[in-house]
Homo-oligomer: A and B are copies of this chain.
Amino acid sequence: MIASTREQIEALTPLWQGERFEDGRPKVPDDLVKRMELVTTEEAWGVLRRNGYHHQFEAGWLNLHPEQTLVGRAVTCVFMPQRPDVQQVIQERGTAEGRIGGQNSWVIDTLVRDDVIVVDLFGKVQNGTFAGDNLGTSIFTKTQRGMVIDGGIRDTQRIYEMEGFGVFVRGLDPSAIADVTLMGINVPVRIGQATVLPGDVVLGTRTGLIFIPAHLAQEVVERSEDVRLRDQFGHQRLREGKYTPGEIDRKWSEAIEEDFAQWKTSRG
């Protein structure tokens, strides 16, 4: 098998209690995916950290559209440098499973709406371009979201123009992908300093990418909505000069908490 089985994914994500896709990936509800679009990287980071997840963020991306936020459910895959013995084994497995086209197409063929494809190409850019405009069009058409490539893309001028397509890569090159073998689909992958599981919620912003374990997505969204309110309140009070930054930038005093409660009520 190239792809993890439903059983394997379930075994890796025992904390997820909700719905799953047929392939076993946790299916964070559409509603949470939608609300995640307003979450900041820091809010997600805070919830993850409180839950003991310290290695879910990765910076250092070429983000084609820093002005937009990328959100979606991770479909993962990993490539390694090609050696003929392994390549032959994988090709035979893929053929046996009825997969067609290049190995990168094998993963793309599994994508559904609101997925984000997350590809470990070990930072390879030259001869490491996971997608050009054909595959890019396909990824965007299927997911309406985007892609995270720890490697490169080609046909950038055209991919750049696909409005709403979220693209995080390490570099750009005109060459085609070569000399790599697809070692797994929906297995745990390492993207820089972060470990990503299938079904994680990807959140990509100007700051970088954070991968949110499915079972923490709800807490992230709800905390964010609370924090957003508190920030709004804090900034307003700072502008008004009612409190000092020192008072606002750490745990609020009881008085401030009361003020906040009143403010929250007063704005309905």
| Interface residues of A, Cβ cutoff 8 Å to B | 11-15, 40-42, 44-46, 51-57, 59, 80-86, 88-89, 100-102, 105, 108-109, 122, 125, 132-135, 137-138, 141, 154-158, 160, 171-175, 179, 181, 183, 188, 190, 193-195, 197, 205-208, 210, 213, 215, 231, 234-235, 238-239, 244-250
On whether the beta carbons of A195 and B250 are closer than 8 Å, the reply is no
For chain A, what secondary structure do more than half of its interface residues adopt (helix, strand, loop), or is it mixed?
A: mixed
On whether the beta carbons of A195 and B135 are closer than 8 Å, the reply is no
On whether the beta carbons of A81 and B55 are closer than 8 Å, the reply is yes
Report the Cα distance A149→B88, complex, angstroms.
Answer: 28
On whether the beta carbons of A105 and B245 are closer than 8 Å, the reply is yes
Q: Which of A81, A193, A235, A247 has the most CB of B within 10 A?
A: A81
How near does chain B come to A261, taking the closest CB pair, in angstroms? 19
Report the Cα distance A75→B179, complex, angstroms.
Answer: 24
Residues of B within 8 A of A55 (CB): 81-83, 179
How near does chain B come to A111, taking the closest CB pair, in angstroms? 10
**Can you name 9 extra interface pairs (CB under 8 A) apart from A134-B234, A134-B245?**
A53-B83, A54-B82, A59-B125, A59-B173, A101-B249, A102-B249, A109-B244, A141-B239, A174-B210
- Assuming the contacts A102-B250, A190-B81, asked whether A133 and B213 have C-beta atoms less than 8 A apart, the reply is no
Partner of A235, one of B134, B174, B190, B244: B134
Q: Which of A157, A174, A234 has the most CB of B within 10 A?
A: A174
Residues of B within 8 A of A46 (CB): 174
Residues of B within 8 A of A160 (CB): 206
On whether the beta carbons of A195 and B81 are closer than 8 Å, the reply is yes
How near does chain B come to A221, taking the closest CB pair, in angstroms? 16
Among residues of B, the one whose C-beta sits closest to the C-beta of A211 is: B83
Report the Cα distance A55→B14, complex, angstroms.
Answer: 37
On whether the beta carbons of B45 and A174 are closer than 8 Å, the reply is yes
Report the Cα distance A105→B247, complex, angstroms.
Answer: 10
On whether the beta carbons of A174 and B42 are closer than 8 Å, the reply is yes
How near does chain B come to A151, taking the closest CB pair, in angstroms? 13
Among residues of B, the one whose C-beta sits closest to the C-beta of A129 is: B42
